[in-house]
Structure 1
Amino acid sequence: MQAVAVQIRPFETRDYDAVAALNNVNFPEFTSSADEIRYDDEHRPAHCRWARWIAECDERVVGGAQYEQYAGAYNPRKFSIQITVDPTLHNRGIGGRLYAALIDALREFDPISMNAMSREDMFCRVAFLQHRGFREEQRDWSSELDLDSFDATPFRKYVDSMRSKGFVVRTLADLLANQELDERELFDLWVEVQDDVPSPPSMDRTRRTFEDWRTRNLEHVSLFPEAYFIALDGTRYVGTTQMWRAPEKECLRTGLTGVRRAYRGRGIAFALKVVALEFAKQRGYGRVDTENESRNVGMLSINERLGFVKRPAWVHYVAEWSAASRA
């Protein structure tokens, strides 16, 4: 197909709506509002590098590209990249121009590798990455639950069983309203659970600071305190699941679900999921989305029992800089 003449320029704050629209059509299971993207940009840790570019054609935004680093997976020489192009303009050279801009900008940091994502059935994106030396290293299942057909009745016995063992479920909203939230205890629970979530082999897992976690958790624009559930054993926080607001008003997105190591095998995670889904249904939501790494058999089993239906997998790709920078 004939190449499209585009102008590549640095991102500007006026581009947030266009960036969100491109993100949502390219990554439909990971939609973000302009406000969410803006918030994340404004609260990036100082040591994590990032930059973004825009592709314009006839004064219309038709593509975007960015590199970034994450506090929870930080290596100064490793970068995540993302390229988005208007689907009606695929195979017109826009992605290649944006990729070249990324490569040129990254050279000064002496990278050793880059990673990217694509859904397995997005063949144009997959071919684009493979042509540039990217190889698959992990698969995540994206799943959804139709709440109109969800019936919590068969599962309430698991909630009753958990409570009969002395565990109490409270929401973040309740703890905040009663000035009982122990933020450090919740952070400690998150760290322990997150450490056991499978991650891509090339990722360097690093400890986030309490301040960064608080900013991206308790203060985030998509936080839904009433849908943030915590299981307690006395005053100890032992398990959690949360649902976060999504740009689609009828949908909620599942966050981190997990239980402290010493409390696993007691049905806490399953019971928390039941409580959360029943809450979502009662509030009139129509769908809950979730993602799980393909090796996370325990959580995948829980979701399947509850009726979640898998969608095409999202694949993590990695490329050595020596190969990717020559493409």
Structure 2
Amino acid sequence: MAGRWVKLELDLKTFDATRFEAYIERCRTTGIRLTTLAELGDSPGHRRALYELNKECSADIPERGEFYTFEEYLERRIEVPSYDPRGVVIALGDDGWCGLAATSDHRSSGFVFNEMTGVRAAYRGRGISMAMKTVGIRFADLCGVDRIRTLHHPANTAAIEMNRRLGYADAEWD
């Protein structure tokens, strides 16, 4: 990979979620429902749907390479101690799942980690990512932490800028 990963962190002690509630309202008024995998039911069928959506959206990540097989996905992303279906926000459109924002629980290290945020191409440009990330920030409260971390390939400028609009700042960690 060319360049180095862009590491970002959001300090929730200074975060004002009310600044971003309009994105959630816009989803509501345009027929996009935001929920979590816990609310939908963390079933094998929903895990498969999450995998398919994550695989599709990950194809846009620069230099991503081949995506996991379903079995590898389960092993590396679901069947791990940091997985919590309450941290997986799903956007539902008229024709099914259209977006995800998956955040994992690393409270023992003092943060949660935004693993992936993605929206199907036909739904982009509607503020769905911002809405999902705003809803996903609530997961940090459930975990009792006040920091959210994420990282991006340096060429993934749209994702980096979206996070910076939310208040994420450049950070360093191991």
- Answer yes or no: same fold by TM over 0.5: yes
For 1:282 and 1:156, the matched residues in 2 are separated by 19
Partner residue of 2:62 out of 188, 192, 198 = 198
Cα drift, residue 227 of structure 1: 1.2
User: What amino acid is aligned across from residue 212 of structure 1 in structure 2?
Assistant: E
Aligned counterparts of 2:81 and 2:143: Cα–Cα separation in 1: 20
Is 1:208–2:64 an aligned residue pair? no
Residues 166, 305 of structure 1: CA spacing in aligned structure 2 closer, same or farther, 3 A cutoff? Answer: same
Find the aligned partners of 1:196 and 1:313 in 2 and give their Cα distance: 25
Supply the AA of the counterpart residue of 2:127. Answer: G
Q: Is 1:185 the equivalent of 2:28?
A: no
Deviations 1:246-298 (A, max 9, x none): 16353111101111111111111111111111342465321111101111111
Q: Does the aligned pair in 1 maintain the 2:37–2:46 contact within 8 Å?
A: no
Match of 1:231 in 2: 91
SS of residue paired to 2:8: strand
Matched with 1:141 is 6
Q: Which TM-score applies when normalising by structure 2?
A: 0.89
Letter in 1 for 2:72: D
Q: CA RMSD in A?
A: 2.3
Structure having greater relative contact order (Cα 8 Å, sep ≥ 6): 2
The one-letter amino acid paired with 1:206 is E
- Whether 2:170 is the aligned partner of 1:310: answer yes
Q: Which residue of 2 aligns with 1:112?
A: none
Question: By how many angstroms is 1:303 displaced?
Answer: 0.8
Instruction: Output the TM-score relative to the length of structure 1.
Output: 0.49
Letter in 2 for 1:298: A
Equivalent-residue separation in structure 1 for 2:49 and 2:75 (angstroms): 16
- Could you report, residue by residue, the CA deviation over 1:126-171 in whole angstroms, capped at 9, with x for unpaired residues? xxxxxxxxxx722211011111111101110111001111111111
Q: In terms of Rg, which structure is larger?
A: 1
Runs of at least 4 residues off by over 3 Å:
281-284
What is aligned with 1:158? 23
In structure 2, stretches of 5+ residues that fail to align are: none
Q: How does 1:27-66 map to 2 (within 5 A)?
A: none
